[in-house]
Structure 1
């Protein structure tokens, strides 16, 4: 790596690439980011064009610095309102994918607008473009605002790069791209966050989505928090709001892989790690964990996992003879305590 002059290389334990690149401000508004991971759509939260491509395509990029892409059509999603108590942007994404199907945005550029987006925290915003890979999207885009610009400037200043690289606050704003007033969309959809409730995706499809109330009581063997979708500080905070003063049910495991070492450190400072451990949880190395069946939580044959990840395909976590339910961190935590899929709102009052 050093011999090739690679500067943005992060060793084992630093975390998931999408989270770490966001923390390091390696991606800026208006940039095009192509990566050999389908969830490169993640960087749309910064107002960048992020898309996943194949390994051979990345090799061509390394060799030439260029790649041909068909320009995707655009779909607009207008989001209004505010998240109700006990819900999250993960619930919104599951609702959207459940309504429109896992190919509802196939090779499209998904554009999120509206006051419902601007009211979300940055951690919550990151979930949305990340999950759009499960919608079939080529990329997903959130309009960058002052929250995003302030975040990037703070991060660049931490790395002492704003002067070195010329990335001033003004430059970042000028690099941002915005939708044209007369832009053409092949479809437009509108969602009111005020009507949202906790949602769960059933095995083995991300679009097999129902309200948590419809499957409450389903036995789970393992509850897992983490991934590039829901492994951030806000996510462990939501889980700990449920776990505080409680214990994980017998015969149920609760695991957490922070999205980055920074998330783990911040969670430690805020007392979330203590709350999690006192509840009987187990903490793994910051990173992807068992998301794609690698390590640190692969389910046994016949086991049921409820996960804050983005995919529940058969065999996704390394065992074909197991089942994966997808949900928000709060639902995952509530299910760990009860030993069955549970509504977190009943435990957060």
Structure 2
């Protein structure tokens, strides 16, 4: 059981934990008393089948699901991600789905731990832990089935995360700033995809591209592997790990009238600065490809 003062504490569900965001004052009370009241949430099972097509990533999957189901579909519900497709997802990709479960209103986004999970936790977990699995006769509030084999890249348009369109319906929209990173898509595999697209090229002269690794560990790995060098040579600005402009505090907040294309998790009005700015959300591949042309672009032409 993991509780944090960040809405996207749900990310830890990728490792099989019940992880939920709570208010800051409630965290302080929890520290003081070591107790909290929680209602046991109903569970929605999302079964994802098929194979990820080229140019389609975990971010596209969760955006399309949120677009189909709505931003309040899972209010105070636990969401269990399962199916043949997600079993093939890397832990970094699972983190994207668990992270953005919050954008469906979910209390928690959960993946049953498998061998890859346990291998990752080996040497990292400080205490012994017990793997919790769903009961064979578990009852769900709803079971949602999706086959992703024919899906295409997705874009969430202003000003809600469930305002989702295929990239083909959003192509051509010009923007001023691109953000690749944050807690949603700032892991090594995300930066590597962006570097593969940008290697040997230069970003559009009218676009500023910010790279924000999810953690110091991811930053150092990308540095060691030469990924940050490729991105810097392409004209990107490498920032220190953290939230960056995602929460509208610093490092690239938007001015009135500006448009951003970001791999972050929220595009609410005023989220990244001015209320008169617009935010579009997409995968690292879509953001990187679009940065070359200065407008929203289908990444598959660069892969």
Q: TM-score category by the smaller chain?
A: over 0.9
Q: TM-score, normalised by structure 1?
A: 0.85
Once residues 154 and 345 of structure 1 are traced to their aligned partners in structure 2, the CA distance between those partners, rounded to angstroms, is: 37
Superposed CA deviations along residues 89-121 of structure 1, whole A, max 9, x for unmatched, are: 000000000000000111100011111111011
Counterparts of 1:264-303 in structure 2, within 5 Å, are: 264-303=219-258
The answer to whether the 8 A contact 1:220-1:335 is kept is: no
Q: What is aligned with 2:98?
A: 129
Q: Displacement, 1:316? A: 0.1
Aligned residue pairs, count: 303
Counterparts of 1:150-161 in structure 2, within 5 Å, are: 150-156=119-125, 161=126
Q: Displacement, 1:347? A: 1.1
Q: Displacement, 1:155? A: 2.6
Q: In structure 2, the residue corresponding to 1:335 is in which secondary structure?
A: helix
Superposed CA deviations along residues 58-109 of structure 1, whole A, max 9, x for unmatched, are: 1111111110111111100011122111111000000000000000111100
Higher CA-based Rg:
1
Q: What is aligned with 2:180?
A: 225
Q: What is aligned with 2:144?
A: 189
Q: What is aligned with 2:75?
A: 106
Q: In structure 1, the residue corresponding to 2:246 is in which secondary structure?
A: coil
The answer to whether the 8 A contact 1:105-1:137 is kept is: yes
Q: What is aligned with 2:287?
A: 332
> Which one of 59, 65, 79 corresponds to residue 48 of structure 2?
79
> Which one of 225, 234, 237 corresponds to residue 192 of structure 2?
237
Superposed CA deviations along residues 287-345 of structure 1, whole A, max 9, x for unmatched, are: 11111011111112101000000000000002111000000000111111100000111
Mean Cα deviation higher: 242-251 or 201-210: 242-251
Tell whether 2:219 aligns with 1:250: no
> Which one of 263, 266, 270 corresponds to residue 218 of structure 2?
263
Tell whether 2:75 aligns with 1:120: no
Q: Displacement, 1:127? A: 0.5
The answer to whether the 8 A contact 2:77-2:107 is kept is: yes
Q: Displacement, 1:184? A: 1.1
Tell whether 2:30 aligns with 1:89: no
Tell whether 2:110 aligns with 1:141: yes
Q: Displacement, 1:154? A: 3.4
Q: Mark the runs of 5 or more structure 2 residues left unpaired by the alignment.
A: none
Q: Mark the runs of 5 or more structure 1 residues left unpaired by the alignment.
A: 1-31
The answer to whether the 8 A contact 2:182-2:241 is kept is: no
Superposed CA deviations along residues 97-153 of structure 1, whole A, max 9, x for unmatched, are: 000000011110001111111101111111011001000001111010010101111
Once residues 68 and 305 of structure 1 are traced to their aligned partners in structure 2, the CA distance between those partners, rounded to angstroms, is: 39
The answer to whether the 8 A contact 2:188-2:221 is kept is: yes
Once residues 307 and 103 of structure 1 are traced to their aligned partners in structure 2, the CA distance between those partners, rounded to angstroms, is: 22
Q: TM-score, normalised by structure 2?
A: 0.98
Q: In structure 1, the residue corresponding to 2:297 is in which secondary structure?
A: coil
Once residues 193 and 232 of structure 1 are traced to their aligned partners in structure 2, the CA distance between those partners, rounded to angstroms, is: 23
Q: In structure 1, the residue corresponding to 2:143 is in which secondary structure?
A: strand
